[in-house]
Amino acid sequence: MKKRNKVILGIVAIVVITIIGLWGIDFGGYLSVSEAKNPQYVGRDVEVKGIVKEGTLKIDVHSTSFVLTDGKADITVEYIGDRPVNVAEGKDVVVYGKLISNEEIEARKIILGCPSKYVGY
């Protein structure tokens, strides 16, 4: 086999191995509320971005709940833990947690405002 053919074969093998290695990795970032309601995510950990819907925020000593919306769909968020300081209705948030059903997320972490600033609880 000529040296040129060996080099081409090696490059093709590297590309194929890279594609197989990256198969199934999600580079999309956060899900919208509408996307998160897809049954395929039920029982899985998700990162969902949306807005705290007006009139839905309930804060107790050790829990917080609200409806997260993207304007098309809504999902209830239940968070157990210390009260998030700046969470408010109408604010953008990213919720990290487990999708219990296509209607509810059990949150472990809430990021307030722009996700790149990482004000997390």
**Does any domain span residue 44?**
yes
| Number of domains within the chain | 1
Check if the beta carbon of residue 69 is closer than 8 Å to that of residue 55: no
Higher-scoring residue by pLDDT: 45, 121: 45
Could you tell me where the beta strands, DSSP code E, fall in the chain? 31-32, 45-52, 58-59, 63-69, 74-80, 92-101, 104-112, 119-120
Q: Is the per-residue pLDDT at 27 higher than 70?
A: no
- For residue 33, the surrounding DSSP H or E stretch is helix 33-36
Nearest to 82 by CA among 64, 96, 95: 64
**pLDDT value for 19:** 75
According to DSSP, the β-strands at 74-80 and 63-69 are antiparallel
Q: Is the per-residue pLDDT at 82 higher than 80?
A: yes
**pLDDT value for 24:** 54
Please state, rounded to an integer, the average pLDDT across all residues of the chain. 85
pLDDT band at 116 (very low <50, low <70, confident <90, very high): low
**Does any domain span residue 21?**
no
**Does any domain span residue 19?**
no
Q: How many residues does the chain have?
A: 121
**Does any domain span residue 39?**
yes
**Does any domain span residue 104?**
yes
**Does any domain span residue 18?**
no
CATH code for the domain in which residue 94 is found: 2.40.50.140
**Does any domain span residue 4?**
no
Nearest to 112 by CA among 92, 90, 98, 96: 92
Q: Is the per-residue pLDDT at 48 higher than 60?
A: yes
**Does any domain span residue 41?**
yes
Cα–Cα distance measured from residue 10 to residue 4, given in angstroms and rounded to the nearest whole number: 10
- Residue 47's φ and ψ, nearest 5 degrees, are -125, 110
Cα–Cα distance measured from residue 11 to residue 42, given in angstroms and rounded to the nearest whole number: 40
The domain of 104 spans 28-120
